[in-house]
Structure 1
Amino acid sequence: MARPPRFDTDQILDAAVRLAASGGPGRVSMSAVAQAIGAPSGSMYHRFAGRTALLAEVWLRTVERFQQGYFASLHSDPDPRPAARAAARHVVAWSRAHPEEAALLLHGPWEFGRADWSGEHTARADSGNQRVYAALGALAESLGATGAQDRDRITLALVDLPLSVVRRHLRAGEPLPPHAEDLAEECAAALLPKAAG
């Protein structure tokens, strides 16, 4: 009877996240991750075809975990305005709760080797991005934001500005200030299209 593996995939990816958060994607190698968890380097290849696949999985798992909560926030209220404010808060709250993963996401998928990802990994990334923009588009439409400038305003309010609230602190290795969620929500609310009437 075969022995169960000593390290599961999540343990391996957790170690890769820590390496990427502390030193960027360049620190993530099969041998570095194996060393971080005390596993033989060869055992890594039983889980991942190589470094490219490892980097893809690190990025995708992190993004997908973030997006799960983001979608829930966007659908948290039938009124699009509280839902939009909740989504802006989520970006900051998730980053506070998961500082290593948030620091990893500041690098972007191309630094995690997206150009060399498999078709399956690329499709997963594209599918997640399409879901985000479809959800933002639906929220914009429910707010009456139908023009290109209004749609850009929604993206700025619910993606770009909340990220800017956390980026400076994460890059400096500082904790987020207690008011960060409130600030993201206030900025988002100020940018939402005015209610009709």
Structure 2
Amino acid sequence: MVRTARFSEDDFIEATMAQVAEGGPPAATMQAIARRVGAPTGSIYHRFESRAAMLGAAWNAAYASFTAALAPLLRAGRPRDAALAILPWAREHERRARFLLLHEPVALFEDTPPPAPLRAELERLEESFDDAFRACVATRGDGALREEDLARAKFLIFDAPIAILRPHLMRGGPLPPFAERMIAELHAGMPIG
């Protein structure tokens, strides 16, 4: 008789995000992840070769979710809407937001980088998102991508909204009701291009 798996790869990925979101990268041990899922530690190794693979899969899942929410708006030349889209994404995916927006990949992978296929997937995601960002900035001016335009766009679309959210994500409380207004005011006062 064939035995069906009780735990999916997604169960372990979500548990990894939860561990990091709640306790930082050191909290994401294989044992803690297995305990959170309610699985034997060995069952993780049937799906992931290492802790770095678990963290890499979790990072890629969170990053793909984030980029899926923003990239279409960037490609459509709507930087303000892309910046504002971070808020509903963070509300809907609080655990992913805490995992992704409060931690840098370098801290997650300081001991061991993720396996090559996961690194390649992250590079593909980053390249696609960067292409959407550059396309958005190019539509805002004369088409030339000046360093100042890129820096302003990065600040307005990503850095400022994430800075507004970060204290609330760290505390785990609700996102501030004024966040949307602040982001919109920033875009009105310092337009891109």
Q: Same fold (TM over 0.5)?
A: yes
Say which of 103, 110, 130 aligns to 2:106: 110
1:174 partnered with 2:170: no
SS at match of 1:116: coil
1:42 partnered with 2:42: yes
Q: Is the 8 A contact 2:149 2:192 kept in 1?
A: yes
**Take 2:117 and 2:147, find their aligned partners in 1: how far apart are those partners?**
31
Q: Is the 8 A contact 1:92 1:184 kept in 2?
A: no
**Take 2:60 and 2:154, find their aligned partners in 1: how far apart are those partners?**
21
Query: What percentage of residue pairs aligned between the two structures are identical?
Result: 31
**Take 1:193 and 1:104, find their aligned partners in 2: how far apart are those partners?**
28
| 1:178, distance to aligned residue in structure 2 (A) | 1.8
- Residue identity opposite 2:56 in structure 1: A
What is the aligned partner in structure 2 of residue 139 from structure 1?
Answer: 136
| 1:174, distance to aligned residue in structure 2 (A) | 2.3
Which runs of structure 2 are paired with 1:115-194 in the superposition (5 Å)?
116-144=113-141, 146=144, 147-193=146-192
SS at match of 1:49: coil
Q: 1:127 to 1:53 in 2, by over 3 A?
A: same
CA RMSD of aligned residues (A): 1.7
| 1:71, distance to aligned residue in structure 2 (A) | 1.0
Instruction: Mark the runs of 5 or more structure 1 residues left unpaired by the alignment.
Output: none
**Take 1:184 and 1:93, find their aligned partners in 2: how far apart are those partners?**
13
The one-character-per-residue Cα deviations of 1:49-88 (angstroms, maximum 9, x if unpaired) are 011111111111111111111112224x5xx3xx111100
Q: Is the 8 A contact 2:74 2:135 kept in 1?
A: no
Q: 1:16 to 1:193 in 2, by over 3 A?
A: closer
SS at match of 1:177: coil
Normalising by structure 1, report the TM-score: 0.89
Instruction: Mark the runs of 5 or more structure 2 residues left unpaired by the alignment.
Output: none
What is the aligned partner in structure 2 of residue 18 from structure 1?
Answer: 18
Aligned residues: 189
- Residue identity opposite 2:109 in structure 1: G
| 1:185, distance to aligned residue in structure 2 (A) | 2.8
Q: Is the 8 A contact 1:92 1:165 kept in 2?
A: no
Normalising by structure 2, report the TM-score: 0.90
